[in-house]
Chains A and B, each alone.
Chain A
């Protein structure tokens, strides 16, 4: 295999992001006194550049894999890479003020954010399980470090350690799963696995393959935080620096689901097999929705609340995955639902965290939900935006969250999926979710504000303000005019399905 300029062009967005991380590290080392804001600006510029490069592949991209089958620069890759770039960009915007206030603005933070995004992009683009694994590890290790970034806070250290230990545990399972799948198929290339699993008569009854798939499921499940592999989430979300929490909540989820859906949609054809895997995924989805939503009801800390909410959302997205697996006639519907949901979730969740990041009280972060009392009137814009994000997360029209849920349910309602109880669970648990999301709104708008020394302070610099505005814009626009993105998602999903068809030929 020769590496051609075309290959390089195809992976250029990845290269830009990785190179940018290196450059920032270097600049920071050479001029330690450089303003970290400038570094953030540089990183943003680079992300925009990478985005522009990536946008060239929108929405169909190139279906044939490059670099020896390692990377597939198709529309699916383009979509998730853009989601990741947007997520990383907004996260950077959100983090500068916070880090300065925290006194921990170092260049490494920005570099790590970029490397995380790079890892996620690799995962999304991977056409080979080795690449998935490496991307996963780059993403994970960067996130472990980001979680422990505030070295002087014990909670942060604890979060990093927990995340690392459990993450290593999950990675081991993932690796073991890869080994078993290799044992079955003789290759880790997704197309080759698909051919093997498609050709083998008893793929649906082969313990080796099934165990391998199960362990892969565990690995992905850990990354996207589904029950029972979610157990790290609340502690890590709470302990990690808030800006890093915001970042990991969206980027890990997007990257995890990107690889998850691609691997499971592509590598394991065969209706029986998919049906079987789909049933297990459905049980996990149900469990995740129930546990995430019910546990969130009792939380008093906004970061923990958002942690459980992110678990619940992972459950919702899994419903889309079930629709992919169990609807052989139109898997594209499920794929496009997952795509749209991920994008919507990126905007609304980052937005919610942005509001949290903007608030302080007496030199501390404002994390107790009760302390949000009267915020809606003290800071009308922040309050209104927080309400917007909460309602969007809950799935109220006319916000992004509504359409996201609409398409998920639509995909899952197809009679071929045959899982009406899953849809019922989704519906009922989202009623429960209204309870805790609306609680935040209630506290903000229906409690008298605290005045004086104890009053919360809000500060939104230009960076944070921009990030907040972008998140709000995304949340509103996806709720009002989702047509363009939906059509693109549909096309992309069809491209992926087509790719799956090619794999079998």
Chain B
């Protein structure tokens, strides 16, 4: 076991532990903070995979922007500890946990089998091409990668990229529509529906 491997197992272990805490910690603020830890662990893993840009994005976008938003909301709503909820089905929590474990087991067994078997994966042109695309040429690794991602994003993936903008817009509309208060001065067309509160 070399140093790189050791590092991997350390970081990976930490990420799993922190993920567990995110779920199980009763205090939402702590929970969110553990999420930050988890994000950072993932960023480190990206780094070890030679994906510097992704690592940076992970830190900036997730650990930075999104987490701040999360914490903001949690503070704003002033959420305390999780209230025990009485479920309609007793033991559902355990059933859910058990099922989650089953899925986890199944997926990891499957993945392990695939990884351990050498030639189950078909080596096709597409596969090679895809490999080559992100194979950084020797030398200035980081820069080339960014440029490549950029060019991929704005060439082949231009349409999906634009689609995400529509997606965000829709989300925005939803947030506004569902959260905004009805303004009294705004002349709403009053309906004749009578069964509303």
Contacts and interface: CB of A to CB of B under 8 A. Distances in A.
A138 B167 contact: yes
A362 B170 CA distance: 35
A160 interface: yes
A36 B158 contact: no
A471 to B, nearest CB: 24
A206 B196 contact: no
B107 A211 contact: yes
Given A100-B191, A196-B122, A364-B195, A25 B173 contact: yes
Nearest to B115: A208
Contacts of A364: 193-195
B166 A115 contact: yes
B159 interface: yes
A265 to B, nearest CB: 19
20 contacts: A1-B155, A36-B189, A70-B160, A100-B191, A106-B177, A112-B173, A128-B160, A131-B159, A131-B163, A145-B174, A149-B177, A152-B197, A154-B197, A184-B122, A186-B124, A186-B131, A192-B124, A192-B130, A206-B120, A364-B195
A111 interface: yes
Determine the interface band of chain A, counting residues with CB < 8 A from chain B. 35 or more
Contacts of B163: 122, 131, 134-135, 138
Contacts of A203: 122
Interface string A174-203: 000000000111110100100111011111
Contact of A105 (B131, B158, B189): B189
A141 B114 contact: no
B113 interface: yes
Interface string A128-165: 10110011011001101100110111100000100000
Given A101-B191, A108-B177, A138-B167, A196 B114 contact: no
Contact of A363 (B113, B156, B177, B192): B192
A18 B174 contact: no
A201 B120 CA distance: 8
B88 interface: no
Interface in B111-130: 111, 113-114, 120-122, 124-128, 130
A130 to B, nearest CB: 5
B173 A131 contact: no
B189 A111 contact: no
Contacts of A185: 122, 124, 126-127
A207 interface: yes
Interface string B175-194: 01110001000111111111
A104 interface: yes
B194 A363 contact: yes
Contacts of B182: 151
A397 interface: no
B170 A200 contact: no
A30 interface: no
A118 B191 contact: no
B106 to A, nearest CB: 8
Given A112-B173, A152-B197, A363-B195, A208 B124 contact: no
B157 interface: yes
Interface string B37-50: 00000000000000
A67 B158 contact: yes
Most buried by A among B158, B164, B170: B170
A32 interface: yes
B122 A200 contact: yes
Given A103-B189, A208-B110, A362-B194, A142 B170 contact: yes
A33 interface: yes
Interface residues of B, number: 46
A502 to B, nearest CB: 14
Contacts of B170: 112, 115, 138, 141-142, 145
Contacts of A200: 120-122
A67 B188 CA distance: 44
B20 interface: no
A101 B157 contact: no
Given A154-B197, A184-B122, 8 more contacts: A67-B158, A99-B191, A102-B191, A108-B173, A185-B126, A196-B124, A196-B127, A363-B195
B156 A1 contact: yes
A106 B188 CA distance: 9
A71 interface: yes
A391 to B, nearest CB: 30
A206 B114 contact: yes
A99 B193 CA distance: 10
A137 B167 contact: yes
Nearest to A22: B169
B112 to A, nearest CB: 10
A448 interface: no
A118 B159 CA distance: 13
A192 B171 CA distance: 32
Nearest to A199: B122
B171 A141 contact: yes
Contacts of B194: 362-364
Contacts of A112: 170, 173
Interface string B136-164: 00000000000000000001111110011
Nearest to B196: A152
Contact of B159 (A71, A149, A151, A154): A71
A107 B197 CA distance: 23
Contacts of B110: 207-208, 211
Given A138-B170, A186-B130, A68 B156 contact: yes
A298 interface: no
Interface string A276-307: 00000000000000000000000000000000
Interface in A198-245: 199-203, 206-208, 211
Contacts of B164: 134
Interface string A293-329: 0000000000000000000000000000000000000
